[in-house]
A and B are shown apart, each in its own frame.
Chain A
Amino acid sequence: MSSKNTSVAWPELAAFVLSKELNDGEIGSPGGARSEIPLAAARLAQLTHAPNLMIITSAAGFVTNNVGRPPAPLFHSTTDYRNIYAGAESVLHFMSIFRTPRDWFFAGGMQVDSYGNLNMTAIGDVKAPKLKGPGGAGLSYAGSVARRYFIYMQQHSRRSFVNKLDYVTAMGYGSGPGEREALGLVGGGPALVFSPLAVMDFCDATKRLRLRSVHPGHTVEEVLDNTGAEMIVPENVPTTALPDNDVLEILRTQVDPSGVLQNLKGSRND
């Protein structure tokens, strides 16, 4: 393992950054098309600072806690049966998946805009789309009930960060402050966006996307060049902190002992 941490792969950095957003005692569900990342984030949180955090693998209802257990492999899919070995203590009935409270969910999308609204429906006219997306999944449900949710994008580009979505599949902050409340959406909305280039959050007053940190090896200019959505850029944008050696060791020996995150195929920006 590199002591300088320069070889931290972006999915590992994602797991680390997102793990810090999860608090002790919370209940949440990792999801999205690259569910390895949020699943690793939640397990890392359990093993570092949140031993009472409970993970519900949404699509299969496994309620898990990995604290004090031998390392379990990280699998590509949260619906994989073998997640049962990662400290599953109970299994929710299928309909209970939709009746159990969550402090957080994770979401991905083909497009995200300045207010954290997401498109999973289609790029281009839905009747003859350039790219047909997989559909709404449970994103809109998750966004309507969870206390907050985290968006992770596998690609940071002008095509994925846009000012106007082709379709709104899941509502973030709509067109600004007060819109969620007006529609009776009890969940708090999106809290953070992670991309292979940067970490972004949302300004409290305007609910607009705001650059929070830029990953090592990348610059603010590069992020802006690749962002089609309006984004608040503070005067000082720090570099995304890397995990220290202790946390990296937990990540690589206990959360993801076979190096799934290090070898994740898929889009990235370098």
Chain B
Amino acid sequence: MGSQFIASTALSGEDFATFPDYPAEIRAPIGTTFGVSAYQMNIGADPITTAGDKPDVLAAFNPAALKVSLPLLDDGALLIVNSDSFTARNLTKAGYEKDPRDTGELDSYQVISVDIGRLNLESVKPFGLSKSDGGLCKNFWTLGMLMWMFGRDLSPIEAWLKAKFAKNEVVRDANLTALRSGHAYGETAELTEAMPRFKVSKAELPAGEYRGITGAEALSLGLAAAAELADRPLIFCSYPITPASQLLHRLTRFGDLGVGTFQAEDEIAAICAAIGASYGGAIGVTSSSGPGIALKTEAMGLAVNAELPLVIVNSQRGGPSTGLPTKTEQSDLYQAVYGRNADTPIPVVAARSPGDCFFAAIEAVRIAVRHMTPVILLSDGYLSNAAEPWLIPDMNQFAPIEACPVPVPGDNRDAQGMAFDRDAETHGRPWITPGMPGLMHRLGGIEKDIHTGHISYDPRNHQRMTDMRAAKVESVARFIPDQAMELGPDEGELLVIGWGSTYGPIYQAVQEIQKSHANVGYTHLRHLFPFAPKLREIVGRFNQVLVPEMNMGQLSTLLRDRLGVVSTPLCKVTGQPFLISELVEKMRSMLPQVVIAANESVARGKVQ
């Protein structure tokens, strides 16, 4: 029974090729040590971006398998690690001195640690298999989990299993159960769905010191870096939600960087505690995903009115409501820019790649402190999980983060008014915090007099305060660099405008189209609200504008609203990023057909 089981379960290339949905390639084990056996399969997502023979995913059932197979992977690959096999004994056997999951050597990869062995055995328990036979089902358990992560249908594999083990019902049913259990695990644990990665070949990397980094890690480090630049502690207040929780997990480990974390009782408490932390002089940060951000909305208005710095990180996911927690979308742009009661403007910035989350976080904190305002930082599920090699930035390149100076208490002026002495350029007020003698003042959600800071119901004052809040957010644009081109000329036929995590595919697609059309330019927005200066001028130098977004055209609306620009949206909300081919196709369809135009001109000439 045992040997038959092993023989049947070992996957052969021939067998896998029979999966109709699966252009698969199974190879003989490579570089086997300690009896490590491996199978490799190519799920074949995107023909352009899938690296030839480098796997995107490695499922390592033990440390030895990890050690052997890791060199096969490119940075950014997805590593599924069977955590219950990572015992001290197995680690030693594999030649690891320390658990590689703790040493940072896996930082370049997206690592998912799951007790595959235990969970698989648990799932096949009812079939009464021996421990070793039951253990063999873990291939299918893991495959089931991967099918979830890649959003694939289980039925072809189920059909194959039924045919393959038609004569052995126990083995058939055990494997089917393992497969379904792995799939159910992925869903229940809300494992973020895997996506094709957009790689930059090593040859193109600029010189310097590198490390691997995920978006969640870069964002965490960026927040810690911003706090260091501001020379203040950072207090991160959050309520768990997929896919934003990783930030909380990472920041909790940054205690020695002056970071404190607080797991609040709900989303509202999280943002209110962050506001309280800012009120106390720390960099208050809260984080969530769309539904949680919705709950925080009222408190964002409070932070606007109280003129306190605050960063709200949104790791966007598919919606509405619970929607698709593990799928990526960019559909919270309206929410970020427009989604509050009353005239409550808040600056919005977005990260575009895993490593860029670091810089976006510093920018968000800088704006928040300089202008004494909440700032929304948009990330998404894909960015949080994706890993890439990252040129380690020199911390000396960043200017300190400074608020408007705190006044010296004096007898001549009411401290209440001094707390709202705003800087003429930034409209930021002094960050006066409890504990400072002689500067006691009251603040809150009620409208206050623009000068005295006392409660005011005066209609003219409300107009002035509303104007001030709008001017404050608009003033952000005066402190940020002009909008620049990512690729191509800054004038021409077609301008592609992107924002957020679509950076990778758009960049590669524009590179591709430029081989035939040099008149295509690409600009990518860090600042969504307000836009960086000169965006309007850039747009004006192109005949057409294409806006690819993973939503139903939200940036297109914003461009029309803010700049009066009519653009062509390219919308996709399948939870999958753009394929380079579909972007190229769209751009091509918008570009003048050079050949036909020439023929027409010739034809016209003939008539004349």
On whether the two chains bind one another, the answer is no
Residues of B within 8 A of A (CB): none
